[in-house]
């Protein structure tokens, strides 16, 4: 929960939401973490955490791009679409 609070309150995330530059792609690229604008399907417009249960909720606009049109086709066909975040870092374990 603390990790998400830090991410959602970061200047970078706030600026990307305010400037409408928090893009999302269709699918998970295996070879990179950064989002490529040429592959953008959505712009994230809202992100917030429910303080009771730590669930992250958000809203996004579907772009009129090749990948956005594919996403819209899926949604129009009743496909249940999911969202996930990308992250990188190191994992440590303790006994």
DSSP string, 51-62: TTT--EEEEEEE
Tokens of 49: 């955490």
Q: What is the pLDDT at residue 42?
A: 95
User: Which residues have CB under 8 Å from 48's CB, separation 6+?
Assistant: 8, 56, 57, 58
pTM of the model: 0.78
Q: What is the pLDDT at residue 51?
A: 79
Helices (H) and strands (E) in the chain, counts: 3, 3
Q: What is the pLDDT at residue 2?
A: 82
Give one word for 87, left, alpha or beta, with left for phi > 0 and alpha for psi -120 to 50: beta
Q: What is the pLDDT at residue 28?
A: 78
Q: What is the pLDDT at residue 15?
A: 93
Task: Provide block-wise average pLDDT over 10 residues at a time, the chain (95 residues).
Answer: 86 91 86 86 92 87 97 96 75 74
């Amino acid at each position: 929960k603390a990790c998400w609070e830090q991410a959602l309150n970061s200047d970078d995330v706030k600026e990307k939401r305010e400037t409408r530059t928090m893009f999302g792609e269709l699918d998970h690229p295996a070879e990179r973490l950064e989002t490529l604008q040429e592959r953008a399907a959505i712009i994230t417009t809202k992100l917030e955490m429910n303080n009771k249960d730590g669930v992250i909720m958000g809203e996004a606009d579907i772009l009129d791009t090749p990948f956005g049109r594919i996403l819209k086709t899926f949604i129009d066909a009743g496909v249940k679409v999911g969202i996930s975040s990308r992250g990188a870092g190191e994992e440590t374990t303790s006994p």
